[in-house]
Amino acid sequence: MAGGAKARRLPRAVRERQMLDAAVRSFARHGYQAASMDEIAELAGVSKPLVYLYLNSKEELFTACIRREAEALLAAVAAGVEGGELPPDERLWAGLLAFFTYAAEHPDSWVVLSRQARTQGEPFATEASRMR
């Protein structure tokens, strides 16, 4: 930082979201085993110790990613089927459309949920099963 300018402190929720966003990208690109906490910290623009301070371990970070991404996907599908008195077949179509739209618009999220979470064994497979 030039000229002694102070770094602006971000609220914890904003900083944590940045870390989770970076982690989802890294896990989607490299898989759980190959993703590094160094890369996640760099992508988030924070120090590696800060990632550990906020999220404790790589395992807890991955679990937090699975939970957050699953909640976002489920919220998108729920929003797609809400409202009005649509017939069941139209509600099903709206839910499917919302699901596939979300997956297409959030490919890293989808990779983490569909491929990474279920193939890494426990406890991640249980988290993925809960989402289903």
Q: 120 versus 96: which is more confidently predicted?
A: 96
> Closest Cα partner for 22 from 46, 37, 36, 40?
40
43-93 pLDDT, tens digit each = 999 999 999 998 899 989 998 998 899 899 999 999 998 876 888 889 899
Residue type, 79: A
Asked if 97 and 53 touch (Cβ cutoff 8 Å), the reply is no
Report how far apart the first and last C-alpha atoms of the chain are (Å, whole number): 46
What's the CATH class of domain 10-131? mainly alpha
Domain extents in the chain: 10-131
pTM: 0.79
pLDDT score for 52: 92
Q: Rounded to whole angstroms, how far apart are CA atoms 58 and 40?
A: 10
The yes-or-no verdict on residue 7 having pLDDT over 60 is no
In this structure, how many other beta carbons lie within 10 angstroms of the beta carbon of residue 125?
14
